[in-house]
Copies of this chain bind each other. A is one copy, B any other.
């Protein structure tokens, strides 16, 4: 973090008198997938972040605006080959947006070069490497970095994030399950696996084309997948403090962005959700709705908000919780920016305090 004379010197039209001498966080991004793109979008909106480098092997040497035309006239950068030392030198923080499995070596190189790193992927989230190897189907070659990593769920790990050198940004499904469930488990227990049925937009599957997500195959379609074996199962249980087992079933529906998660919780005794959720009263991006009001993806799309609604079913004795997030924002890049704000001493809401795109 350094004082620099002009916040976005590459933007030749920009003359606003407000931003001279501002404190600016210089970030680099590795990757050009959907998480990385959303970080680029937020970097342009955020008043105290400057995007100074994008590294990608496949696109190296090309102007960013040729690779991703949405960014023409917005980020005046040429994509670089990945060079850990160079990135560590010119960036205050580096955000990694490469597919899970590929970030182990990228993160290790950057950490060894001294960079502060935020990894959008799943490689450093599981503290139990045996669980990692079981669910991710590969060996983990950087266990010492797992140890130093802070789980980037801002409402929970705020204090640890202030000095974190390596942040593993949580998975999108886990955020939509952990945020609504932690306060409940602070007030109630359950003997029965919690049923978590989540529906996701297709951007969660990444940017690589495949048979299943070819437009005519997925449009007007619904499906479930990875029943009982999804890699987010151990992540959710870890962050619930292993206080309950979860039955997690992910689904996909024909939309691009958004997750709606439905949780059926069978409490062992009495439970007062109003009291439980009082802990979120000061959270800037968690909105707990009054009983009976339910969240919808359209109210959070494009924003960092996590909306939680709940009701109790007296007939069955269950507590039902619905949670809505935008998987790329509150579920990935928005959460990463909130972590960055904490890491660099800014107000957490800086650059994120806007509403969803509705319609």
Are A299 and B228 also in contact (CB < 8 A) when A18-B47, A359-B217 are? no
Interface 9-residue window, one of A89-97, A157-165, A203-211: A203-211
Are the CB atoms of B215 and A313 closer together than 8 Å?
A: no
Query: Within the complex, which residue of B73, B75, B220, B357 is in contact with A297, where a contact is CB–CB below 8 Å?
Result: B220
Are the CB atoms of B347 and A13 closer together than 8 Å?
A: yes
Q: Give the chain B neighbours of A262 by CB distance below 8 A.
A: 197, 224, 249, 251
Query: Within the complex, which residue of B214, B249, B311 is in contact with A207, where a contact is CB–CB below 8 Å?
Result: B214
What total of chain A residues lie within 8 Å of the partner, measured CB to CB? 105
Q: How does the 8 Å CB contact mask read for A324-359 relative to B, with 1 for contact and 0 for none?
A: 100010000000000000000011111001111111
Are A303 and B70 also in contact (CB < 8 A) when A213-B215, A253-B254 are? yes
Are the CB atoms of A256 and B355 closer together than 8 Å?
A: no
A328 to B357, CA, bound (A): 11
Are the CB atoms of A298 and B347 closer together than 8 Å?
A: no
Q: Give the chain B neighbours of A193 by CB distance below 8 A.
A: 266, 316-318
Are the CB atoms of B216 and A256 closer together than 8 Å?
A: yes
What is the minimal beta-carbon distance from A156 to any residue of chain B, in angstroms?
A: 18
A71 to B316, CA, bound (A): 34
Are A215 and B202 also in contact (CB < 8 A) when A14-B347, A298-B221 are? yes
A14 to B223, CA, bound (A): 31
Q: Is A152 an interface residue (CB 8 A)?
A: no
Q: Give the chain B neighbours of A216 by CB distance below 8 A.
A: 34, 201-203, 207, 213, 256, 359
Query: Within the complex, which residue of B18, B192, B296, B317 is in contact with A221, where a contact is CB–CB below 8 Å?
Result: B296
Are the CB atoms of B213 and A71 closer together than 8 Å?
A: no
Q: Give the chain B neighbours of A214 by CB distance below 8 A.
A: 207-210, 213-215
Query: Within the complex, which residue of B13, B209, B348 is in contact with A209, where a contact is CB–CB below 8 Å?
Result: B209
A residues sitting closer than 8 Å to B (CB atoms) are 11, 13-16, 18-19, 22, 34, 37, 40-41, 44-45, 47-48, 68-75, 192-193, 195, 197, 199, 201-203, 207-211, 213-225, 227-228, 245, 247, 249, 251, 253-260, 262, 264, 266, 282, 284-285, 287, 294-303, 305, 307, 311, 313, 315-318, 320, 322, 324, 328, 346-350, 353-359
A-B residue pairs, 3 tightest by C-beta: A228-B313, A253-B253, A216-B359
5 contacts between A and B (CB under 8 A): A70-B358, A192-B192, A199-B251, A207-B216, A220-B258
